[in-house]
Chain A
Amino acid sequence: MKNSTQTAAKKLSLPHSLRLAVLATLVAVVLGIPMVALGTTDQNGSLILVQRWPWLLWLAIVIFVGRLFTAELAAHGVVDSLKTWLSSRHPNRPKFRDRNPAILWLRGKLPEPTVTLLLLAFLLPMMPFTDRYSIDLATTVLIYVMLGWGLNIVVGLAGLLDLGYVAFYAVGAYSYAIISQTLGLGFWETLPIAGLLAALFGILLGFPVLRLRGDYLAIVTLGFGEIIRIILLNWQSLTNGSRGIGGIARPEFFGLSMSQTAGGDSSTFVDWVNGNLTMIGQWFGGSEAGLEAYRLSYAPVHRITFLYFVILGLLFFTDFLVRRLRNLPIGRAWEALREDEIACRALGINPTMVKLSAFALGAGLGGLAGCFFAARQGFISPESFTFMESATVLAIVVLGGMGSQIGVVVAALFLVLVPELGRAFADYRMVGFGAAMVLIMVFRPEGFVGERKPSLILGLVGKAKSKAKTKGVQ
């Protein structure tokens, strides 16, 4: 039976595949006329139109052959088998990593995967191949991880689609910029204030959208994100409008400035280290000349490395907090809300409190990330808080696998590093990036880490298997 249908499919597949290929080629040609065949170029200061019809022909041929090939593959079941091989849609099937004794042993020894990764990240600045650029890039990745973990509470756990997450990031950043410049508070004092302010905005947004779900919620949050950005643009007296706020104080290391020169009566980190070096050297009776080799001289990479460790520290805190909360009643309530709000109400859970707590906590973490962002950049303007940022963070959460902590890390690495590494390919990098996203969503619709780890395990799995088996027989 199965064989006969398969051969039938094979016989019939070619005309169908041809149809698909022609359709795809047609779309490509229509799109290609303005995008490929016609182009403009600058000649002697005036724009002239260039025509590249052979390019369009090549494009059509490539699309036709490619689509025919993939359609044939799909018709012969190759794509399906590849999909089942790649996807984790069968949650009760033991995975390779659950069967492999080496991996199981290693997993028993290592801490949580996120903690392991963060510990590895701790070593990055000490690696011989790292330079200023890579630490800076890694800091960017870590900011997105932080944002991803914050949004993951709202979208991944509580299931509330939030398209305006950047608003809280902006609130955190502007809180630090404004507070440090008007009240003169430092980074570490302002950090909790920025987090709390952002959480307050989270609740502020939460109240009007309590009744909304899905698409409607997404639209309102989208609007909220824009409102915040437009306020930042127009409230000249407070935010300095589109010119932004510059000269934001850098974070200090226990009161030591990480800059070349310290303001006021504080000293710089380099001076402090060298001072102590002299002191220790004198204890051990070393000569001034011998110590000279160990003396630090100021380098901008110190500050960049320090910032990297600051965000890493924030991530350790966030990871601990979110993982812990997820296994507490509040975390289970978030997930229950995502699964079925009506059932939640029928069990006496107050959806209002659950939603507001998710919004507040997610926003608060976004605020912390924003505060760090402002301190790192030293300059912020509404330009940095456009919808594109919200979309990127949301893509990180969705691509990582809704609700998965480690998934966010993987997705943030992917989404920040791939466009960055693709810089060499200039204009084509976004095309490649888009293609990569499409492929991931086709083959892993549930994200990089699709499966969910229960918050509580009864620990009867061994017994349960045998029992379930006998159940099946009777």
Chain B
Amino acid sequence: MAKTTTAPLLTVTDLTLRFGGLVAVDHINLTAEKGEITAVIGPNGAGKTTLFNCLTGFYKPTSGESRIHRDGRDFILESLPPTRLISDAGICRTFQNIRLFQKMTVLENLIIAQHPGLMRASVWSIAGLLGTKKFRAAEAAAVAQARQWMERFDLLAYADLAAGNLPYGVQRRVEIARALCTHPVLLCLDEPAAGLNATESARLNELLLQIRRELGIGILLIEHDMSVVMQISDRIFVLDHGKVIASGTPAEIRKNPAVIAAYLGVEEEEEPAVLKQLSKKSPTQKATTPKTPTKNPSTKKVKKDGKK
């Protein structure tokens, strides 16, 4: 990927979010590039979705900042009102549990994603009520755009059906198409492969690669399904207990002992020992291993479930 700008698309600096005594996101630093798929992985409760909620304006972080570099301008996400996050900074997300407007049709879902622009065109609904030429043109353009996405995502057949009645895999595609209708520069997908079968998941991989190839936008991805993450990600950040414990290409991450430790679940006391052992075995690691494993003891005690 030839990059035109030197600054990364998304830069997260020292982002922290506390809920009372719990540090859900702990001084996270990460970057995402234009035209790349950046994955965020980690065990359950690692703070991945919380990080997303901070980026997309649902939570206000306690400290730190994240900025989007778009067309030579910087947007600090924390200082933007939620509506401008989408229109100006160009960051749009999907949800872990699909959040479509269920009773509305697929077409309507995609049109609502273009609401702010259409609302401006309808001039407080007055131009809309009068049905002015300008408004009708704007509406036709919105439909054309929705149609284009439906064609790309193979959704035309479902255009006029209620979104809530569609198969799960189709609903996922609708949600991604809906997010793309807002013209994002950074698309944040929260576990897009959750609940999909192997075929659907393979199809999603293809789709994400296609988006990256054709639109050249950045994709930030939270995912548990390693078959998705390892195949399509350009860069992976591993989160555990709200901290980035490793980052690198899929090949690097696969070998990283800290990641293995986090996923297999090791008791706090044993962790340094295991790490030492592991690092002896694989000297190629370039991980940013945790400096001190002294974390919030209340969340650390329980042995985590082994993950694939």
Contacts and interface: CB of A to CB of B under 8 A. Distances in A.
B20 to A, nearest CB: 21
Given A339-B103, A454-B104, A464 B158 contact: yes
Given A347-B92, A347-B115, A458-B147, A335 B161 contact: no
Nearest to A357: B125
Nearest to A343: B99
A454 B102 CA distance: 12
A124 B65 CA distance: 68
Interface string B170-192: 00000000110010000000000
Interface stretch (B83-91, B284-292, B300-308): B83-91
A110 interface: no
B219 interface: no
A92 B162 contact: yes
A91 B104 CA distance: 11
Nearest to A91: B162
Interface in B136-194: 143, 147, 156-162, 165, 178-179, 182
Nearest to B87: A348
Q: What secondary structure prevails in chain A residues at the interface with B?
A: helix
Given A336-B112, A456-B111, A348 B99 contact: no
A347 B125 contact: no
Interface stretch (A98-106, A131-139, A171-179, A326-334): A326-334
24 contacts: A91-B165, A324-B129, A325-B128, A329-B119, A332-B115, A333-B112, A335-B108, A336-B115, A339-B103, A340-B99, A342-B99, A348-B82, A348-B115, A349-B112, A350-B82, A452-B162, A456-B105, A457-B105, A457-B160, A458-B143, A458-B159, A458-B160, A460-B156, A464-B158
Interface residues of B, number: 46
A471 interface: yes
Given A346-B99, A349-B116, A468-B157, A458 B107 contact: yes
Given A328-B129, A329-B125, A340-B102, 7 more contacts: A335-B103, A346-B95, A452-B103, A452-B104, A456-B107, A457-B107, A458-B147
A336 B157 contact: no
Interface string A435-474: 0000000000000000010111110110110011001000
A280 to B, nearest CB: 39
A332 B182 CA distance: 16
Contact of A330 (B82, B100, B122): B122
Contacts of B57: 345
Interface in A343-376: 343-350
A192 B278 CA distance: 78
Given A347-B182, A348-B115, A468 B104 contact: no
Given A346-B95, A347-B182, A321 B129 contact: yes
Contact of B82 (A345, A464, A468): A345
A345 B82 CA distance: 7
A349 B81 CA distance: 11
A328 B125 contact: yes
Interface string B94-132: 010001111111011001110110110110010011000
A347 B143 contact: no
A434 to B, nearest CB: 29
